[in-house]
């Protein structure tokens, strides 16, 4: 560990970009500072999402009037209806979430009058013709067929193979300890990769899964104590996918590939001396000629029970009230779990102890208790469940006598 601490304060680095002209990759076109690409063949919303995801992209997001006009521009005169990367949990437009993880539509939306309308469908499409031209309508995610536009962030010209959002990434399949991996990245004028957004995490996970399948891959992050995290390249800790059930080691790895524990695309603690694949990151078009900025360390707050809270967006942890102490009698808790439209919910109980047959956990496959009941649990079972869509409802109900420790469960975004 002394070697690691010494290393973190003595590394050398980047960074001065020699290119400032925005460019697009993968055949996308730069429109309004976004890279867009039209796919004219009509498909379901989920097929459209998966197509974009495989490119490291998302379905088009619209954050202002210029973005809205850009959809019409890229569509041209031949395509009139196109899916957006937006999912609405009910008729309230403040509960419509963008697929890129940027949040809800409270700052800008262009829904037609009377929309969103969840009874029609919870996905959203854009029309370029007729009385609703330029406006957004609700559609059925599974049966409606529309064209779609994928969106990538612009980047800068570089010869690297993996160029995304102003950065170049190199993927190393040589098993290497953490310190030596960082030193190898420095030889490329980079650092072990930092991940600062949902879209960057998605892009890296897609590439690593395509190249290597399931594997724990070094990220450029460490923690010196519980809930104190640092990126070695000096990036702010403003985004994380940490699986809080696996944070007992000082270095951090990304798990690539579905159906794993920890959950796919999440981050977890590993020994810094273990040999692993790794990813380097540097600014696109950069030269190695200036010192690294000072690292900013931001603590991550702990999570409460979330009993009867509003919608909870993955990833996260829910518990019975008072956990790890005993819950009370006559408890009724509801937990509304959600993820962005392109994922499912994976729910894993990490601890489970209730009064058998009387104090129960009910899990529903959707956003309310009117959806299909997936399972009912009591006693000491510890199940793993996956939703069929991007929402799940958990209910915890106790009777008027006898108590136990209760439960702790992790919910994550899951890609089939």
CATH value at residue 131: 3.10.100.10
Domain ends where: 269, 299, 329? 299
Least confident of 82-86, 140-144, 215-219, 392-396: 215-219
Q: Is the pLDDT of residue 396 over 60?
A: yes
Q: Is the pLDDT of residue 192 over 80?
A: yes
Residue 408 belongs to some domain of the structure: yes
Q: Does 287 or 223 have the greater pLDDT score?
A: 223
- pLDDT for res 292: 45
Q: Are residues 194 and 323 in the same domain?
A: no
Residue 192 belongs to some domain of the structure: yes
Helices 45-54 and 198-212: angle between axes, nearest 10 degrees = 70
CA–CA distance, 16 with 372 (Å, rounded to integer): 55
Q: Are residues 267 and 336 in the same domain?
A: no
Q: Does 22 or 4 have the greater pLDDT score?
A: 22
| Count of domains for the chain | 3
Grouping H, G, I as helix, E, B as strand and the rest as coil, residue 70 is: helix
Grouping H, G, I as helix, E, B as strand and the rest as coil, residue 7 is: helix
Q: Is the pLDDT of residue 229 over 90?
A: no
**Paired strand residues for 381:** none
Domain ends where: 299, 328, 351? 299
Q: Are residues 90 and 181 in the same domain?
A: no
Mean pLDDT of 228-242: 85
CA–CA distance, 318 with 307 (Å, rounded to integer): 8
Q: Are residues 47 and 69 in the same domain?
A: yes
Q: Are residues 289 and 164 in the same domain?
A: yes
Using pLDDT thresholds of 50, 70 and 90, give the confidence band for residue 12. very low
**334 CB-contact burial (10 Å; exposed 0-12 / middle 13-18 / buried 19+):** middle
Buried b (16+ CB within 10 A) or exposed e, 174-206: eebbbbebbebbbebbbbbbbbbebbbbbbbbb
Query: Which residues lie closer than 8 Å to 122 by C-beta, 6 or more apart?
Result: 87, 88, 89, 116, 138, 141
Domain that holds residue 330: 312-414
Using pLDDT thresholds of 50, 70 and 90, give the confidence band for residue 50. very high
Give tens-digit pLDDT for 98-120. Answer: 998 888 998 899 999 999 999 99
The mean of the pLDDT values for the chain is 86
Q: Are residues 73 and 164 in the same domain?
A: no
Mean pLDDT of 385-391: 90
Q: Are residues 137 and 244 in the same domain?
A: no
Using pLDDT thresholds of 50, 70 and 90, give the confidence band for residue 230. confident
- pLDDT for res 8: 44
- What 3 state SS string does 184-217 have? HHHHCCCEECCCCCHHHHHHHHHHHHHHHCCEEE
Give tens-digit pLDDT for 282-322. Answer: 999 876 664 444 333 333 334 478 888 878 888 888 999 99
Residue 171 belongs to some domain of the structure: yes
Percent of residues, the chain, with pLDDT higher than 70: 86
Q: Is the pLDDT of residue 281 over 80?
A: yes
Residue 128 belongs to some domain of the structure: yes
Least confident of 271-275, 302-306, 356-360: 302-306
Mean pLDDT of 255-267: 66
Give tens-digit pLDDT for 68-81. Answer: 999 999 998 889 99
Grouping H, G, I as helix, E, B as strand and the rest as coil, residue 75 is: helix
- pLDDT for res 301: 39
Residue 52 belongs to some domain of the structure: yes
Using pLDDT thresholds of 50, 70 and 90, give the confidence band for residue 5. very low
| pTM assigned to the model | 0.69
Q: Nearest 5°: CA angle at 259, between 253 and 264?
A: 30
Query: Which residues lie closer than 8 Å to 225 by C-beta, 6 or more apart?
Result: none
Decide if 184 contacts 191 (C-beta within 8 A).
no
Using pLDDT thresholds of 50, 70 and 90, give the confidence band for residue 364. very high
Q: Are residues 214 and 96 in the same domain?
A: no
Q: Is the pLDDT of residue 1 over 80?
A: no
């Amino acid at each position: 560990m002394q070697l690691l601490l010494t290393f973190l304060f003595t590394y050398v680095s980047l960074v001065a970009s020699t290119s400032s002209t925005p460019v697009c990759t993968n055949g996308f076109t730069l429109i309004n500072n976004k890279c867009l690409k039209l796919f004219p063949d009509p498909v379901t919303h989920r097929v459209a999402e998966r197509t974009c995801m495989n490119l490291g992209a998302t379905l088009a997001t619209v954050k202002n009037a210029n973005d809205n006009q850009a959809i019409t521009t890229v569509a041209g005169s031949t395509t009139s209806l196109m899916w957006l990367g937006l999912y609405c949990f009910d008729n309230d437009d403040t509960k419509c979430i963008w697929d890129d993880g940027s949040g809800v539509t409270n700052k800008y939306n262009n829904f037609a009058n009377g929309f969103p309308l969840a009874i029609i469908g919870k996905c959203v499409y854009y029309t370029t013709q007729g009385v609703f031209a330029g406006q957004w309508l609700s559609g059925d995610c599974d049966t409606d067929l529309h064209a779609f536009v994928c969106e990538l962030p612009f980047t800068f010209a570089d010869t690297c193979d993996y160029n995304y959002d102003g950065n170049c990434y190199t993927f190393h399949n040589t098993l290497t300890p953490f310190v030596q991996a960082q030193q190898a990245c420095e030889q490329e004028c980079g650092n072990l990769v930092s991940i600062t957004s949902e879209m960057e995490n998605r892009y890296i996970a897609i590439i690593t899964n395509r190249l290597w399948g399931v594997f724990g891959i070094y990220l450029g992050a460490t923690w010196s104590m519980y809930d104190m995290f640092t990126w070695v390249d000096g990036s702010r800790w403003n985004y994380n996918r940490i699986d809080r059930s696996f944070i007992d080691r000082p270095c951090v790895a990304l798990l690539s590939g579905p159906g794993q524990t920890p959950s796919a695309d999440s981050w977890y603690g590993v020994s810094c001396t273990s040999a692993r694949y790794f990813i380097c990151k540097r600014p696109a078009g950069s030269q190695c000629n200036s010192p690294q900025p000072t690292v900013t360390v931001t603590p991550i707050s702990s999570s409460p029970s979330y009993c009867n809270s509003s919608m909870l967006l993955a990833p996260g942890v829910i518990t019975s009230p008072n956990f790890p102490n005993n819950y009370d009698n006559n408890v009724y808790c509801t937990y509304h779990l959600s993820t962005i439209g392109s994922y499912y919910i994976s729910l894993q109980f990490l601890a489970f102890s209730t009064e058998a047959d009387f104090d129960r956990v009910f899990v529903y496959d959707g956003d309310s208790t009117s959806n299909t009941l997936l399972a009912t649990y009591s006693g000491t079972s510890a199940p793993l469940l996956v939703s069929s869509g991007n929402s799940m409802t958990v209910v915890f109900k106790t009777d008027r006598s006898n108590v136990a420790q209760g439960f702790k469960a992790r919910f994550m975004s899951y890609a089939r």
